[in-house]
Chains A and B, each alone.
Chain A
Amino acid sequence: MRRAISPWLALAWFGFAVLPWNAIGGSGFFAFQWLGQYPSAAASAPALVQLLWHGRLWFLPLLLVLLAPLVFLWRPATHPDSRRRTARALIAIGAAGLAYIAAIALAIDIEGWRWRELATAFGELPRRQQGLGYGALFVAAAMLVLLCHGLALKGWVRGDAFVAGAIGASVALVGLFTLYPLSRLFLHAFLDSAGNLSLTALLARLASSKVWGYDGIVWNTMQLGLMTASAATLLGFCFVLIVTRTQFRARRLLSILSILPMITPPFVIGLALILLFGRSGAMNALLEWSFGLRPTRWIYGLPGVWLAQTLALTPVAYLVLVGIAEGISPALEEAAQTLRASPMRTFGTITLPLMAPGIANAFLIVFIESLADFGNPLLLGGNLEVLSTAIYFAVVGVQQDPGRASVLAVVLAVILLAFSLALFLIQRRLLAGRSYVTVGGKGDGGLRTPLPRSVVAVTAGLALPWAALAVVIYLMIFTGGFFEKWGLNHALTLRHYVTAFGIAVENGRLFWTGGAWSSFSTTLMIALTAAPLTAAFGLTVAYLLDRQRFAGKRAFEFMAMLNFAVPGTVVGIAYILAFNAPPIELAYTGLILVACFVFRDMTTSMRAGLAALSQIDPSLDEASATLRAGTFVTVRRVILPLIRPAVVAALVVSFISAMTSISAVIFLTSPRFDMATVNIVGRAEVGEYGYATAYASVLIVLMVPAVVLIRVLVGTRVLSRRQAPAGG
């Protein structure tokens, strides 16, 4: 016990007695300007110094809470039922510490004390209080761990301290970065125009016929989401079958092609679609020229948005499914064939059902992404109104009404909840008692069964024309940057690349003269920070959800997904409301962007992880545990290597979405932290399509090696299976 908690106690004391308790204003902690007056100045003093030197008595209870656990270190427990007593004590200490820190955080806002009584009790605080800093962070983290240790000692999650800590940390993080900001925003849904809480205000907003009814916002959103999810999952599935199950020659190329659209800032695809299928686009011009058909505007509305979303989201489905397809044991299919099942029957009764968890997860992710997508409905939607655009314009439109925005966001949350519940129930009902485990401890061998010919024909028939469309669009984007004016003047030029990425050398010094460099480097930095955190967190949560049992698991899963499903602009506003002023100040730093990406995109990592874990036999975990490996070692040495495809998918998706997302960061960018996509959209708005496509092309070209690098770094999963003989 002593060994387990002493490092955490040390951390708590380090945070309490050494690190500045409050955030450092001005140029921040890492500028280290505060060291000059440390520790005497109250602004940069640790809590202990604030208590003893500045007489800030409200830190006294915290000191007592921190002194209490020292007893364990001095008086090792020998008593028979000391274990239970220690557990109870740790829980009490951890909970008290956390609650007290939360109380301090709530009691002091930017103006000083929030309640007059406190000001008279403890003395006035000057205006412009800083939020909580690293000191508070360290103490809170340590308290959380002590609490979880205590719970584990009491027997929670089979007494596994590592799992208890992981659950505690995950719940705390999701609570802080999803539940707290969103609930602050959702509160507006209950406010009437005078600013009072009232249920009738909520009901009145909900009752609007524009929201419900045929052709209403909800109807449109559901229709679009289901159409996109079906199409993207189907196409992703086809690509996966071709890449993993056929000898198709260009399948390497196809696998790159299938993830390309994800790499593109979404509106670039929309723009290319307009140039292709718009009223004055190439396709209509051809039809008019050859058949004399009058050009139409079919692209604006549901069909166009559907096309653009399917194009952009097929790669996500592909990435989730590809690991699953590879994980399916050939032995099962071989067995089916030995029993004289036809290839078609093998496919229908073995291969397809084994991919069901992957398909369900892919479908859910695509559905959620479609709900949250805002760029495509904006550009191609015509008069089509969906939840994401309705919410956005309730926030920024002519009639700014955060209440309406929150009500719509609540509606969206309810749709999401209903949908994921329905999916969960269907999975339970239909697939109950079945097992998807195909990666077990037994060595299995076998050759991949060739796909039935009819399936090959159908998949190729669907996937190849789609791939051709993607090739055309990519050619358009890549060449777009070299034209004087995309769609108007097709004289060749390098001008746009120079404006965006120019470099000059003067007097031996290098000058980054291009307009894109600043946002480019920021974006790269933020994405590089966010991607590993996102993947790690998402996969951890997936592990906890799949392998552990704890109360409130479903609610936690829903919470984790909610941030992803709410349109980014809403999350942006919620983040400003929550993190702009004390107790937590993150606005205008890069941290708020990283936090936003991590807690939005973790859903994809989590879903990929869940799908992959469903294939791994839990008896492998048990075997590892029998060999006395702790949970952490089991995860690292057994599970992680087996879910490598999911790790790749998680890293790739989170890196790319951090590089290309726009809606979430609209409100979170700041002068020092400008993002690439915001820059691109701004340029496209003033008609500088050359610059915009040049910038987008550079991003695309850069991300392909990044994706390859991620694959190399993570490595491939090695399953001991017989390889197909040469030429097979």
Chain B
Amino acid sequence: MKLIRRASASVVTTLLGSLLLWAIAAPATAQEVTVLCNFEVDWCEALKAAYEKTTGQKAVFIRRTDGESLAQIRAEKSNPRADVVHAAESASAKALAAEGLLEAYKSPMVAELHDWAQRIAEESKYFQTPIYTGVLGFGYNTELLAKNKMPEPKCWKDLINPAYKNEIQMANPGTSGTAFNTVSTILQLMGEDEGFKFLAAMNKNVNQYTRSGTAGIRAAAKGETTIGITFLHDSVAQAAQGYPIKTVAPCEGTGYEIISSAIIKGGPNPQGARKWMDFVLSPAGQNVAITVNKFQIPSNKNAQVHPLAPKPAEVKLIKLDLDKYGSKEGRERLLSRWENEVFKAPK
């Protein structure tokens, strides 16, 4: 009796064990296109659904942050598992292309893109194609501003006003592409030495250099800080969710980011990768943004722009050299100066 019970127990355990093993041992199949998706998760899901509906092809995505995607592509270089990176900052895509990790592809959709996007795609030899651009600025919590009777900030230079002591959050340029973009914008706007002086003065007002680029504006939305420096579309998104946030495009002019999609070299499904690129560059692919309340400025001329999205015509954009601090040496120099002259500056 005991023997039977023990035997049946071991049979059941073995069966269950092999069932679990079967379920977890199978890798993904190569029939679908695998996308390293750096967008927010709701956007990724909507894109996948729209892609499958429009093209009749399957897509799967892995949601990562920008930096995680880059690290993953580099780590997987001997045996790439993903087909597309959607999407990386222009400078990062450039670095990946230089390391030989990307595949060039000129989508037929390129002809439909805005001039700035066509220019970037061409300059990169079609190793990347821009999906959207976002404008840099800041947002503030209107309730806290009124409660503490602070003046409305309108320009970059307003941010060094002592009235905002310990009321500003921006990200750390060492950890966040957004903040790196901010610092490089300030330096190009004011000149390198003046720019660092400005940032050091603003340091007195910064209560925390967050690690993620959007953490500052999210903290402002929840009333944890008054001002958050970020991309305008992220600030608008907080307001659209109902938080008391007002978005400001600085009066002196401001910089921007360019976000591109790119095909990973040696991925399992290159055909699918091209199809994905064609789709996300088409108006159908770019209009997905509106359905999930995203406020970036799309690269396709025929794509719809969200009515709340910042209008490029109303924003003073500076002539930004995206590559100036993009190289390895440029990054090192910018970051070490920032560390020594800004982060360690007296409060």
Which residue from chain A places its CB closest to the CB of B78 in the assembled complex?
A: A581
Residue of A279, A297, A671, A682 near B60 (CB, 8 A) is: A671
B67/A400 in contact, CB under 8 A? yes
Which A residues lie within 8 Å of B70 (CB)?
Answer: 396, 400
Known: A576-B76, A685-B40. A525 touches B68 (CB 8 A): no
Known: A280-B222, A525-B24, A687-B218. A396 touches B65 (CB 8 A): yes
User: Residue-by-residue, is B63-80 near A (CB-CB < 8 Å gives 1, otherwise 0)?
Assistant: 111111011101110110
B211/A393 in contact, CB under 8 A? yes
User: Residue-by-residue, is A345-388 near B (CB-CB < 8 Å gives 1, otherwise 0)?
Assistant: 00000000000000000000000000000000010011100000
A488/B24 in contact, CB under 8 A? no
Known: A110-B78, A671-B34. A489 touches B242 (CB 8 A): yes
B223/A591 in contact, CB under 8 A? no
Task: Return A124 CB to nearest CB of chain B, in Å.
Answer: 19
Q: Which of A279, A489, A671, A679 has the most CB of B within 10 A?
A: A671
A residues contacting the other copy or chain, number (CB 8 A): 65
Any B CB within 8 A of the CB of A31: yes
* Alpha-carbon gap, A32 to B270, bound state (A): 26
Within 8 A of B (CB), among A277-315: 278-280, 297, 300
Any B CB within 8 A of the CB of A195: no
Any A CB within 8 A of the CB of B296: no
B335/A398 in contact, CB under 8 A? yes
* Alpha-carbon gap, A396 to B172, bound state (A): 13
Any B CB within 8 A of the CB of A696: no
User: Residue-by-residue, is A140-176 near B (CB-CB < 8 Å gives 1, otherwise 0)?
Assistant: 0000000000000000000000000000000000000
Within 8 A of B (CB), among A676-727: 678-679, 682-683, 685-688
Question: Which one of A262-270, A638-646, A662-670 contacts B?
Answer: A662-670
Task: Return B132 CB to nearest CB of chain A, in Å.
Answer: 17
Any A CB within 8 A of the CB of B108: no
Any A CB within 8 A of the CB of B3: no
A26/B62 in contact, CB under 8 A? no
B208/A590 in contact, CB under 8 A? no
User: Residue-by-residue, is B245-278 near A (CB-CB < 8 Å gives 1, otherwise 0)?
Assistant: 0000000000000000000000000000000000
B79/A110 in contact, CB under 8 A? yes
Any B CB within 8 A of the CB of A588: yes
Task: Return A136 CB to nearest CB of chain B, in Å.
Answer: 15
Which A residues lie within 8 Å of B174 (CB)?
Answer: 393, 397-399
Task: Return B32 CB to nearest CB of chain A, in Å.
Answer: 8
Task: Return A181 CB to nearest CB of chain B, in Å.
Answer: 11
Any A CB within 8 A of the CB of B105: no
Task: Return B16 CB to nearest CB of chain A, in Å.
Answer: 9
Any A CB within 8 A of the CB of B299: no
Residue of B60, B71, B222, B243 near A396 (CB, 8 A) is: B71
Within 8 A of A (CB), among B25-69: 25-30, 32, 34, 40-42, 45, 60-68
* Alpha-carbon gap, A580 to B81, bound state (A): 9
Residue of B81, B175, B237, B328 near A397 (CB, 8 A) is: B175
Known: A109-B78, A396-B70, A683-B41. A589 touches B223 (CB 8 A): no
A667/B24 in contact, CB under 8 A? no
Within 8 A of A (CB), among B140-163: 144
Which B residues lie within 8 Å of A667 (CB)?
Answer: 68, 71-72, 75
Residue of B22, B66, B71, B339 near A30 (CB, 8 A) is: B22
Residue of A278, A297, A529 near B20 (CB, 8 A) is: A529
User: Residue-by-residue, is A204-219 near B (CB-CB < 8 Å gives 1, otherwise 0)?
Assistant: 0000001000000000
Q: Which of A27, A300, A399, A488 has the most CB of B within 10 A?
A: A399
Any A CB within 8 A of the CB of B1: no
Task: Return B118 CB to nearest CB of chain A, in Å.
Answer: 27
Any A CB within 8 A of the CB of B173: yes
Which A residues lie within 8 Å of B64 (CB)?
Answer: 666
B20/A589 in contact, CB under 8 A? no
Any A CB within 8 A of the CB of B196: no
Q: Which of B22, B29, B45, B71 has the most CB of A within 10 A?
A: B71
Residue of B25, B208, B238, B331 near A398 (CB, 8 A) is: B331
Which residue from chain B places its CB closest to the CB of A29 in the assembled complex?
A: B25
Any B CB within 8 A of the CB of A389: yes
Which B residues lie within 8 Å of A297 (CB)?
Answer: 166, 207-208, 224-225
Residue of A515, A591, A671 near B25 (CB, 8 A) is: A591
* Alpha-carbon gap, A685 to B209, bound state (A): 18
Which A residues lie within 8 Å of B332 (CB)?
Answer: 399
Which A residues lie within 8 Å of B41 (CB)?
Answer: 679, 682-683, 685-686
A26/B81 in contact, CB under 8 A? no
A576/B177 in contact, CB under 8 A? no
Any A CB within 8 A of the CB of B235: no
Which residue from chain A places its CB closest to the CB of B332 in the assembled complex?
A: A399
A278/B30 in contact, CB under 8 A? no
B24/A589 in contact, CB under 8 A? yes
A525/B208 in contact, CB under 8 A? no
What range describes how many residues of B lie at the interface?
35 or more
Any A CB within 8 A of the CB of B4: no
Any B CB within 8 A of the CB of A123: no
Which residue from chain B places its CB closest to the CB of A484 in the assembled complex?
A: B242
Which residue from chain B places its CB closest to the CB of A587 in the assembled complex?
A: B81
Which residue from chain A places its CB closest to the CB of B40 in the assembled complex?
A: A686
Within 8 A of A (CB), among B104-123: none
A397/B67 in contact, CB under 8 A? yes
Task: Return A73 CB to nearest CB of chain B, in Å.
Answer: 27
* Alpha-carbon gap, A120 to B243, bound state (A): 69
Which A residues lie within 8 Å of B209 (CB)?
Answer: 383
B75/A594 in contact, CB under 8 A? no
Which B residues lie within 8 Å of A452 (CB)?
Answer: none
* Alpha-carbon gap, A378 to B172, bound state (A): 12
* Alpha-carbon gap, A573 to B77, bound state (A): 12
* Alpha-carbon gap, A278 to B222, bound state (A): 9
A669/B78 in contact, CB under 8 A? no
A671/B61 in contact, CB under 8 A? yes
Residue of A581, A594, A671 near B62 (CB, 8 A) is: A671
Which residue from chain A places its CB closest to the CB of B35 in the assembled complex?
A: A671
Q: Which of B27, B61, B63, B218 has the most CB of A within 10 A?
A: B27
Which A residues lie within 8 Å of B313 (CB)?
Answer: none
* Alpha-carbon gap, A397 to B211, bound state (A): 9
Task: Return B27 CB to nearest CB of chain A, in Å.
Answer: 5
Which B residues lie within 8 Å of A487 (CB)?
Answer: 222
Q: Which of B72, B75, B176, B243 has the most CB of A within 10 A?
A: B75
Which B residues lie within 8 Å of A109 (CB)?
Answer: 78
Task: Return B73 CB to nearest CB of chain A, in Å.
Answer: 10
Any B CB within 8 A of the CB of A428: no
Task: Return A384 CB to nearest CB of chain B, in Å.
Answer: 10
Any B CB within 8 A of the CB of A652: no
* Alpha-carbon gap, A591 to B26, bound state (A): 9
Which residue from chain A places its CB closest to the CB of B226 in the assembled complex?
A: A279
Which residue from chain B places its CB closest to the CB of A296 in the assembled complex?
A: B166
Any B CB within 8 A of the CB of A11: no
B62/A396 in contact, CB under 8 A? no
Task: Return B13 CB to nearest CB of chain A, in Å.
Answer: 9
Which B residues lie within 8 Å of A28 (CB)?
Answer: 25-27
A670/B28 in contact, CB under 8 A? yes
Q: Which of B62, B74, B222 has the most CB of A within 10 A?
A: B222
Which B residues lie within 8 Å of A256 (CB)?
Answer: none
A interface residues (Cβ-Cβ under 8 A, vs B): 26-31, 109-110, 210, 274, 278-280, 297, 300, 378, 381-383, 389, 393, 395-400, 485, 487-489, 515, 525-526, 528-529, 573, 576-577, 580-582, 585, 587-591, 593-594, 666-667, 669-673, 678-679, 682-683, 685-688
What are 19 sample pairs from A and B whose C-beta atoms fall under 8 A apart?
A: A27-B29, A28-B25, A279-B225, A300-B224, A378-B212, A393-B67, A397-B176, A398-B176, A529-B21, A573-B71, A580-B78, A581-B79, A589-B26, A589-B27, A590-B26, A670-B62, A671-B62, A672-B26, A682-B40
The 3 closest A-B pairs by CB, nearest first: A590-B24, A396-B67, A280-B223
With A398-B173, A593-B24, A687-B237 already in contact, 7 other A-B pairs whose C-beta atoms are closer than 8 Å? A378-B211, A399-B331, A487-B222, A515-B45, A580-B78, A594-B24, A685-B41
